[in-house]
Structure 1
């Protein structure tokens, strides 16, 4: 490469699978220079990941790639053989995947993962210096005690540390191009900010970054230029500030309008539309209101008192870890309670205890006024239907042998076949799915459809409380808006209480009546959600809110009128 040569320079890239398969990427142009970040955004299935992976010949089995120009590092990549592509990966280009736990080899230490590129490509480092290189690389991405972490395995690290270790393995060979595919999805706000800071540092050092993300706020904070993809085509492109502030394509406008914001509370996210001012004034977002919610009842649906849970570290005689300590809260009928905190704060442990899947060491849980914790499952079973769960990964919560009708029908005992089929059809329609999907297997559905099936399953039991554990964190912004609207509409209609667990503080602000903030297993702040967001009292709560990416459109330049119909 010569100075000023783009790292990536492609024109007319198209990708199809199979000899006669339809193109999944159509005529894409893309240029990435050293020292800049270019983002690809769009909904699931838009072609973002296939486009990015085509740059290192990893589009997938059966992929057929054509282009008018395909220059990687100034060389004609259309002439590369398999050996040349292997030499390029890790040295010229490093890939950061979304899920570090599944991307890192569970049988190898973090140090071995980071050192792989050096060993595989026989880089001139020297065997004795490999350990120093690993420690230095881990330290560069903000991993504390790098020599200790290098001897550990992926499952022994937190989500944020695993993601940083994955970035370290991608940059250990000093690649000039980093391809990051959804590197911050499912991370809490503070860890997300740390991971983005690591990537920004590499860009400042002169590396090129191709970022694939459905989080427009993250893109706004790091990308120099953005390409918006839909159905395999780039429909909008340009400098990030320009595209996000003045979106030209209707699809780009829809993506931006669907992002939760303080002004969106009480309205349907999926109904949002950007209405440009005829006189060239500021952009306005128009939204339809959600149905009116009934007043929150004084009836307490769930009461937790003094919950404490301690785990013993593996291999340690007296080493313990306190996941929860003296946690108390209550949820009233029709109330939405948000539970937030960074990774390791105790959210998941709290949810498991509430669901009766884990027993506390101390404390108690009462459901509908009667004891819930400390009972056998046989004793809990008659009331189990009153407490339901919407998981983060719906597919993994389904029996792979079941069809949609079997999954939803799990919560409809005692109905004959005809009545059960009618009820399942009604529930599917209620969550916006065609009754004909009852015969399908979940693996043949999209992520948004699977999440709707999980909601239908939960509602089938007519529960008093639903625990929503990161229910939309893996969905793109447009599908997320649809699912969030669905949960909000059904909650308003049915009056079901929700315990809404999420790392997305903007989403929690949109949904919750009350907010509980966990840190290191303890409640550090609780109260009215809007009051906590507007005037956080605890230092940790303030740091969480400060970690949020800046809103895409905010302030007087974007009034966001709520309840205005198009």
Structure 2
């Protein structure tokens, strides 16, 4: 692939090496003003590593070769200090996991304001006012005085978007910018990213969401196993993909699924009536009824911050309701109800290998290791990933390890908090997610 280095950002023959060999091989792409670039591909395909190489924050055990030309400089040749000086100034990052990127001891408004104060060099009062405007742009004015642990995952994502916008950087790298957002907010964020492009900023987006790629337009690159397997104008690639993997990727998008016949339902696993929850005198929801039978899939849909996760936590017994009653199927242990966290890093010990955590789980609950291997094959999790730390695998791979842990306990009712798109894995939906207890 021939890349013209006259573009605002040009990547030529980028290869990312680990101790075991290259994990991203000879990726070449370019990004010009007015034409955003979106990288699509399944979890672990190398999309985020390409973005990290451009940003200059690859994990220390990895190194990059090739050329990354930006503002007439080869970023690969710059020192770590030179690269860091670009962060928040000429290069901005919207991280995949805002939960990890935000300071848990600072209020949301203060975190946005400090970007204006210390990166842009504005006066204190001006910084606070500009931060208020950034939060209002993402419908988050109500969260200004809250801490990150007091807001939902979707609200945290919007707070990260507000901070990224505050940098006003020349190049914006958005890693899964719509993760955890409902459809309305997803469209709003996509429109915001398009306005950044129209204002002259360069935009590199990493996403699993084909709808986001279609809305952004520009150029699309599709990655598989560390290689760029298809690359071209969005209008051409989306309507007439050539590579077999690209076709499979688009076919896995939920919009392409066929309707399924409603299965025969079993006994009620859980039922709740009149649930109510209040925080600080404010009623989050009230008079909420729900029941789930064996073999049934029930979805709770609503805008970010409306109480969906809180309802899930109440059903799991992790949060007490202020009113209402819950009835679970007799004979089910607490292990029959499993939570899949919206932000997988919140559910893993950061300094323990994935293998060690899985070994502890099998030992604690009397499971055989062969059951882990069967689920790993089913979820396409190769063995080399077992000996990595949670921070050394992709977000989608970590989500699949979280799913493996829940399924290993044969739950009667797993409750995923904002489950990932199936196009992330290029596989049909996992069947039997809700099944009668054995």
Under a length normalisation based on structure 1, what TM-score does the superposition of the two structures give?
0.65
SS in 2 for 1:304: strand
Larger radius of gyration: 1
Q: Distance in 1 between matches of 2:70 and 2:323?
A: 60
Listed one character per residue, the Cα deviations across residues 28-82 of structure 1 (whole Å, up to 9, x for unaligned) are: 1121112221101112222211211222322232443222x43202334345344
After superposition, the Cα gap between the structure-2 partners of 1:301 and 1:449, relative to the gap in structure 1 and judged at 3 Å, is closer
Listed one character per residue, the Cα deviations across residues 310-354 of structure 1 (whole Å, up to 9, x for unaligned) are: 23x2xxxxxx12233111233334333222222222222222332
SS in 2 for 1:44: coil
- Counterpart of 1:295 in structure 2 is 264
Q: Distance in 2 between matches of 1:343 and 1:32?
A: 32
1:245 paired residue among 239, 255, 269: 239
1:457 paired residue among 401, 408, 411: 408
Q: Distance in 2 between matches of 1:396 and 1:142?
A: 24
2:305 paired residue among 336, 339, 344: 344
Q: Distance in 2 between matches of 1:79 and 1:449?
A: 36
SS in 2 for 1:219: helix
1:89 aligns with 2:83: no
1:58 aligns with 2:65: no
1:407 aligns with 2:361: yes
1:265 paired residue among 259, 262, 268: 259
- Counterpart of 1:323 in structure 2 is 284
After superposition, the Cα gap between the structure-2 partners of 1:443 and 1:51, relative to the gap in structure 1 and judged at 3 Å, is closer
Q: Distance in 2 between matches of 1:225 and 1:103?
A: 28
Listed one character per residue, the Cα deviations across residues 220-271 of structure 1 (whole Å, up to 9, x for unaligned) are: 11131101111211100001121121111111111111112364233xxxxx
Under a length normalisation based on structure 2, what TM-score does the superposition of the two structures give?
0.82
- Counterpart of 2:158 in structure 1 is 164
SS in 1 for 2:82: helix
1:387 aligns with 2:336: yes
1:134 paired residue among 128, 131, 134: 131
- Pick which of 112-121 and 204-213 moved more: 112-121
- Counterpart of 2:46 in structure 1 is 47
Contact 1:114 1:134 in 2 (8 A): yes
- Counterpart of 2:71 in structure 1 is 73
Count of matched residue positions in the alignment of Structure 1 and Structure 2: 420
After superposition, the Cα gap between the structure-2 partners of 1:324 and 1:65, relative to the gap in structure 1 and judged at 3 Å, is same
Contact 2:248 2:426 in 1 (8 A): no
2:413 paired residue among 461, 466, 469: 466
- Counterpart of 1:98 in structure 2 is 96
The alignment yields a C-alpha RMSD, in angstroms, of: 3.5
Contact 1:236 1:252 in 2 (8 A): yes
Equivalent residues in 2 for 1:160-559 (5 A)? Answer: 160-261=154-255, 263-266=257-260, 295-297=264-266, 299-311=267-279, 313=280, 320-368=281-329, 383-384=332-333, 387-392=336-341, 397=347, 403-404=357-358, 406-408=360-362, 410=364, 421=368, 425=370, 429=374, 432=377, 446-447=397-398, 450-459=401-410, 465-470=412-417, 472-473=419-420, 477-479=423-425, 481-482=427-428, 484-487=429-432, 495=436
After superposition, the Cα gap between the structure-2 partners of 1:404 and 1:76, relative to the gap in structure 1 and judged at 3 Å, is closer
After superposition, the Cα gap between the structure-2 partners of 1:496 and 1:201, relative to the gap in structure 1 and judged at 3 Å, is farther
After superposition, the Cα gap between the structure-2 partners of 1:256 and 1:85, relative to the gap in structure 1 and judged at 3 Å, is same
- Pick which of 229-238 and 334-343 moved more: 334-343
> Unpaired segments of 5 or more residues in structure 1?
267-291, 314-319, 371-381, 413-419, 498-566
SS in 2 for 1:337: coil
- Counterpart of 1:560 in structure 2 is none
After superposition, the Cα gap between the structure-2 partners of 1:411 and 1:339, relative to the gap in structure 1 and judged at 3 Å, is farther
Listed one character per residue, the Cα deviations across residues 373-408 of structure 1 (whole Å, up to 9, x for unaligned) are: xxxxxxxxx532583225136675578696535525
The structural deviation recorded for 1:127 is: 5.2
After superposition, the Cα gap between the structure-2 partners of 1:427 and 1:296, relative to the gap in structure 1 and judged at 3 Å, is farther
